[in-house]
Amino acid sequence: MSLPSTARVVIIGGGVVGVSTLYHLAKAGWTDCVLLEKNELTAGSTWHAAGNCPSFSASWSVMNMQRYGLEMYTTLAEDVEYPINYNVTGSVRLAHSDARMQEFEKVAGMGRYQGIDMKICSPEELQQYHPFMETHDLAGGLWDPVDGDIDPSQLTQAMAKGARDLGAHIERFCPAKGVSRENGEWIVHTEKGDIRCEIVVNAAGYYAQKVSEWFIPFGGRQTPAAVMAHQYFLTEEIPELRAWTQENGKLPLLRDVDSSYYLRQDTFSLNLGPYENTCKAHWITPDDPMPEDFSFQLYPDDFDRIEWHIEDAMARVPILGSQGVQRNINGPIPYAPDGNPMIGPMPGVPNAFEAHSFTFGIAQGGGAGKVAAEWIIEGMTEWDMWSCDPRRYTDYTDQQYCIDKAMEIYGNEYAMHFPHHVWPAARNRKLSPVHAKVVELGGQMDAFNGWERANWFAQEGDDTSEAATHTWDRTGPWTLRVREECEAVRDGVGVLDLPGFSRFSLSGDGAAEWLRGRIAGSLCKIGRMTLAYFADARGRILTEMSILRHGEEEFTLITAAAAQWHDFEVLKNALPEGLALVDRTRELSTLIVTGPKSRVLFAEISDGDLARGWLTHQQATVAGKPAMLVRVSFAGELGWEVHASFEDMPAIYDAVLACGAKPFGMFALNSLRIEKGYRSWKGDLSTDYTLLEGGLDRFVKFDKTQDFPGKTALLTERQRGVAKRFVQMIVEAGEADAPYMSTIWSDDAIVGETTSGDWGYRVGASIAFGTVKAELAVPGTELEIEIFGKRYKAVVQPDQPLWDPENARIRA
């Protein structure tokens, strides 16, 4: 069959993810699709992958994706009539510490909610699963019954057969050479001819970065990624393992995550794969350029790099050292800067999608194809997939950033992600105009969309070491300081330097009416602001923006730092001709100045009208500099946001400090906002929930004439009854507050999940947000929240702020 000249979708890349995307498109009825592969299918990273299939993940969405894929693999051979070597052996994860056991408890709770019966084990129980290992120094471990391994090539070929049988086309040995655009359609250029199509998917694996450069003329960017060398080896046959296997079956996969390696049985030999700190990135220097074609090739062996892990693994499983090495595999694996793949819309480019940078492509391939196909067909996904959305990276990810972060992530592949820990690599990409002053004052920094912000302010003698943050508990060197910061905001006045607010200007005839047709609620009057929610077609929470109205047809829209590219596209993709939308994020910076004494402070340094009410804004001077004063505070106290140019902000910040404001950080802000019931984006506010499930009923105006996205779905939901509801809970927690996606129980049944948790210093209690079955969302209802394996009493609170429920302090 010759290469088609037209198609609905063209996928570039024939690895497991590209083929899975094609297969899922075809299953959904989109059969007019073509996949292009420069060599044979699997020629990139897929062919040399170890093929491990864990369901374990600390990310709710990634676990969902992996769970779906593993379930799909169990029936794939039968579904497409193609044999697959898929071994569901289960796995053991080893814990050397109580902290690691806490992580396992957390993930096991998530797995239980998703229907995976993970089990927390003692060292003795672990040895029953894997009798060849030493357990004397272990704290315990985790049993995952659905883990195992699969042949990557067979998996890919099976999905390829399924796609072909449904009518999709796969063209091997046909390198894509570039793209162009004509009359709203893409033209993909190949050595065998051009293909005109509606949609292009970059699924090019470790070549995805090169492919992304083709889209730069059409609004794209070089995708943020780097290529790491992952090495594993197979031993010669081990007689003891053969004898045990013939009597008992295959051993479960073993992961010693604290020593950072996996060890798996392969026929009657063992396969050891470390993630070493002495890791190596490839194709990053002029003397090591990326070759035009690296199909079915490997890097030279480099055993010295993994020597420590080999010795550690032989001490753990002595039979590993009884035989020599049969074969070593040292091949390229693509890494995004946070280790998660990129699946979703290509930033800035119409009708283009990404599905690449998979470090665990075999385990995630099945689910990734489902997610990619949903993005392409529906423009939305079943699960909120922000963790993998390419738009989570914006303009700070230069190549050195990608290399540094890939090295850090690879070398800490199995590291625990503690709530107060900050990864140190590739920092200071975007700095506030008062960054040096914030650091001088003791600011302990973190990055938010590349912008450096203080989490808390240390004083002399405080432990600011990275090691001090390696805890799941709420307490640490920061605890006293965060309390002091919250109390300053409560009793006096605090100042938070907040660079990086995403802000867009919208203007043009018809701008107001267009906004009314996009948001679920009402539009504010001139000189005021409102909080607006955007829904998708299902009525789910797409995003939240503050809308400031300057004139009849002139607006500023402000949103979370991380939402910059995501929210800009929410607006841009629906923008009619004649309206102007401009990203002004880098033009202004922001201070939050808040507390009962903030009016007194501004009276000293500003000519603004400080009697103007809550949710107003005005142009004024502050410390002699022009600024916009916005009468709002995410901290839930009397206060203003000060928006000013980068050039003027240092003088304003110095003046605010000179008037006695105490600097506070993001840890304090999170505590303050949760006491007020304020939601966080992509935590409490995500497409996993509808606006009604999220407790945002008061922001939905059903009787307005405009037919905003999701209105019909929300009307239907309201009529039939909302199945689950957002709740605030006071928790009788122990040493740790409820993490994201902790399970909520009632009478030994799982009834919901948390979306946020923190300690409220003003109310003196642990607070959790979450969603539960609607009948349980009644004030006074007693529930239990599972926090690191233990259940704690949680009482549903009234649907109002826990601190200052009448908002008297804000309106003062």
pLDDT in tens, 318-328: 999 999 999 99
Scored b (16 or more CB within 10 A) or e, 327-342 reads ebbbbbbbbbbbbbbb
Residue among 213, 182, 654, 703 at smallest CA distance from 440: 654
User: 265 to each of 99, 251, 256, 365, 807, how far by Cα in Å?
Assistant: 28, 6, 15, 22, 62
Span 185-190, mean pLDDT?
98
Would the pLDDT of 2 be above 90? no
Determine the pLDDT at residue 242: 97
The whole-chain average pLDDT of the chain stands at: 97
Could you report the per-residue pLDDT of 642-659, keeping only the tens digit for each? 999 999 999 999 999 999
Q: What's at 11, amino acid-wise?
A: I
> Mean per-residue pLDDT for 115-122?
97
Cβ-contact 472, 736 below 8 angstroms: yes
The residue with greater pLDDT, 1 or 175, is 175
**For residue 1, what pLDDT band results from cuts at 50, 70 and 90?**
low
pLDDT tens for each residue of 533-564: 999 999 999 999 999 999 999 999 999 999 99
Query: Would you say residue 172 has pLDDT above 90?
Result: yes
Q: Are 334 and 205 in contact (CB under 8 A)?
A: yes
Name, in order, each residue with C-beta under 8 angstroms of 632's C-beta and a sequence gap of 6 or more. 529, 546, 614, 615, 639, 640, 641
Pair of tokens at residue 228: 């790491």
Per-residue CA distances from 307 to 202, 273, 313, 316 (Å) = 37, 11, 10, 14
Per residue, the 3-state secondary structure of 84-113, as one string, reads CCEECCCEEEEECCHHHHHHHHHHHHHHHH
- DSSP assigned state of 285: B
- C-alpha span between 437 and 435 (Å, rounded): 5
**Dihedral (CA of 736, 500, 504, 622) sign:** positive
User: Can you name the residues that pair with 504 across neighbouring β-strands?
Assistant: 557, 583
Rounded to 5 degrees, φ, ψ at 479 are: -60, -55
- Positive or negative torsion for Cα 359, 360, 364, 366: positive
Query: Other CB atoms closer than 10 Å to residue 466's CB: what's the count?
Result: 10
Rounded to a whole number, what is the distance in angstroms from the first to the last CA of the chain? 75
Q: Quote the CA–CA distance of 676 and 802 in Å, as a whole number.
A: 6
Which pair of structure tokens corresponds to residue 312?
A: 């550690």
Angstrom CA distances, 595 to 4, 363, 487, 643, 672, stand at 66, 50, 9, 18, 11
Candidates 548, 414, 347; CA nearest to 103 is 414
**Quick check: 344 and 388 in contact, CB under 8 A?**
yes
Q: Which amino acid, residue 358?
A: F
pLDDT in tens, 662-692: 999 999 999 999 999 999 999 999 999 999 9
pLDDT at 633: 93
Q: What is the pLDDT of residue 687?
A: 98
Q: How many CB atoms lie within 10 A of CB 307?
A: 13
Q: Mean pLDDT across the stretch 234-243?
A: 97
Query: What sign does the CA torsion over 337, 338, 344, 350 have?
Result: negative
Query: Mapped to the 3 state alphabet, what secondary structure does 218-280 carry?
Result: HCCCCCCCEEEEEEEEEECCCHHHHHHHHHHCCCCEEEECCCCEEEEEECCEEEEEECCCCCC
- DSSP string covering 376-429: HHHSS-SS--GGG-GGG--TT--HHHHHHHHHHHHHTTT----TT----SS--S
Q: Tens of pLDDT along 434-475?
A: 999 999 999 999 999 999 999 999 999 999 999 999 999 999
For residue 483, give the nearest of 803, 810, 760 by alpha carbon.
760
pTM: 0.97
DSSP 467: G
Count CB-CB contacts under 10 A for residue 704.
16
Burial of 534 (0-12, 13-18, 19+ CB in 10 A): buried
pLDDT 10s digits, 10-56: 999 999 999 999 999 999 999 999 999 999 999 999 999 999 999 99
Q: How many other CB atoms are found less than 10 A from the CB of residue 672?
A: 30
Contact of 119 with 137, CB cutoff 8 Å: no
- 806 phi/psi in degrees, rounded to 5: -90, 0
Residue from 636, 654, 651, 498 nearest 561 by CA: 498
